[in-house]
Amino acid sequence: MSDNLGNLELIHVFYWLKELLLSTGLGEPYVTIVSYVVLGAVTFGVLALLALFLVWWERKIAAHIQQRFGPMRTGWHGWYQTIMDAVKLLQKEDVRVDKRDKFVFFWAPVVCFVAAFLAYVVMPFGNQLIVADLSIGILYVLAVTTFTVISLLMAGWGSNNKYALLGGMRSAAQVVSYEVPMVAAILTVIVYVGSLSMVDIVEAQSGLFINWFIFKLPFGPIAFIVYIIAATAEANRVPFDIPEAEQELVAGFNIEYSGMKFAMFFLAEFVNMFTVSAIAVTLFFGGWNGVFLPSWVWFLGKTFLVVLLLMMFRWTYPRLRVDQLMEFAWKFLVPLAFANLILGSIMKYLGWYW
């Protein structure tokens, strides 16, 4: 269905590199390791570029929603503003608080970024454009992205700062609560696919857009809305950003961080936002499926639309209180998500879908 012209070229470059490595006389296991390292570095580069773009885009959208211009001085509409920000953060002094827990304080940003980064092992960027099609796909993504919570708790505890500790604790309570409805929404899709692999999920939606799960599932829109609310909370974004609520906790868990360590938290936040959007696209909007254009263009285009949705949430909704947040998760989203799961599986059994 989809024209994967662009993909095949990318894949051919990869195989050509692998052949080149094999011809130098290295053994097969070493070549596999080297090729995965190269893929990891390439993925990191792509993610860094994406994060730079998303930060700029978010600032522009925020500005235009508030009838401002946003960054305008650096290049055309400030297009290299975030690159200059990254260069500036690279040269900033690393101010460290004296009473910190040295080990935990140092490793928190590393764990935070690696947890966000690991999800990209199974991310189906396009037809065959996937690092490794693990058979546990979506379960694996849920498992590794949850490590972000541990890093936020590490940052909160390691800083020895009351604001940071409050931010870390709130984030733990919040992510833990919204994990349950999110998984229930994902399971609704899994019941119809019968596989956890990301590639199988996308291929089950091939064909016209009517086959996308948001339309195909009996209550697809409900599953999607539950997922997107829970995903916003998972990514710690407004209206669920109480872990870093600027007005009450100053900056929450990353209050004592500066320079490159702060930059890593920031990068991980935007990578996480892209991850949850990409998974929403994979589960509900047909992933790379589309016509005429290469499949990775479809995937990125759809993902950017979902990211745009998350950004518009951020700049148009007020922040919730902690108690409202928890009650909303446990008293509304969890029952709704599980009711949807039960109804969806009953309809799957009866065959009431196309």
Partner 1 sequence: MSEYLSVLIFAVTGAAIVLFTFFISKLIRPHNPYPEKGVTYECAEDAIGDSWIRFNPRFYIFALIFVIFDVEVIFLFPWAVAFGELGLFALVEMVIFILILFFGLFYAWKKGVLKWV
**Residues from 190 through 249 that contact partner 1 (CB under 8 A):** 190-191, 194-196
Pick the binder of partner 1 from 210, 327, 332, 353 (CB under 8 A).
Answer: 327
Which residues does 264 contact at the CB level (< 8 Å), separation at least 6?
A: 109, 110, 112, 113
Least distance in angstroms from the C-beta of 330 to partner 1: 5
The CA-based diameter of the chain, rounded to the nearest angstrom, is 64
Considering CB under 8 A, how many residues would be counted as binding partner 1?
79
Comparing CA positions, the residue from 61, 39, 94, 101 lying closest to residue 315 is 61
Inter-axis angle of helices 81-90 and 259-284, nearest 10: 140
By CB under 8 A, tell whether 254 contacts partner 1: no
Q: Using CB under 8 A, which of 6, 79, 96, 218 touches partner 1? A: 96
Our finding on whether 76 is near partner 1 (CB under 8 A) is no
Q: Does 323 bind partner 1 (CB under 8 A)?
A: yes
The answer to whether residue 253 forms part of the interface with partner 1 (CB under 8 A) is no
Q: How far is CA 152 from CA 140, 166, 173, 210, in A?
A: 20, 11, 11, 40
What are the residues whose beta carbons fall under 8 Å from the beta carbon of 243, sequence distance 6 or more?
152, 167, 168, 170, 171, 174, 236, 249, 252, 253
- Minimum distance of partner 1 from residue 89's CB (angstroms): 8
Determine, following the binding rule CB under 8 A, whether residue 176 of this chain makes contact with partner 1. Answer: yes
Q: Which positions from 104 through 133 interact with partner 1, judged by CB under 8 A?
A: 109-110, 113-114, 117-118, 120-121, 131-133
Q: Buried b / exposed e across 146-177, counting CB within 10 Å, b at 16+?
A: ebbbebbbbbbbbbbbebbbbbbbbbbbbbeb
143-172: contacts with partner 1 (CB under 8 A): 157, 159-165, 169, 172
Q: Give me the least distance between CB of 342 and partner 1, in Å please.
A: 6
Q: Rounded to a whole number, what is the distance in angstroms from the first to the last CA of the chain?
A: 19
Is 23 a binding residue for partner 1 by CB under 8 A? The answer is no
Strand partners of residue 129: 126
Kindly tell me which of 52 and 255 has the beta carbon lying closer to partner 1: 255
173 binds partner 1 (CB under 8 A): yes
Name the segment binding partner 1 (CB under 8 A); options: 13-21, 238-246, 294-302, 342-350: 342-350
Residue 349 found at the interface with partner 1 (CB under 8 A) = yes
CA distance 229 to 254: 24
Is the Cβ of residue 184 or residue 280 nearer to partner 1 in the bound state? 184
Q: Which of 8, 79, 315, 348 binds partner 1 (CB under 8 A)?
A: 348
Does position 31 interact with partner 1 (CB under 8 A)? The reply is no
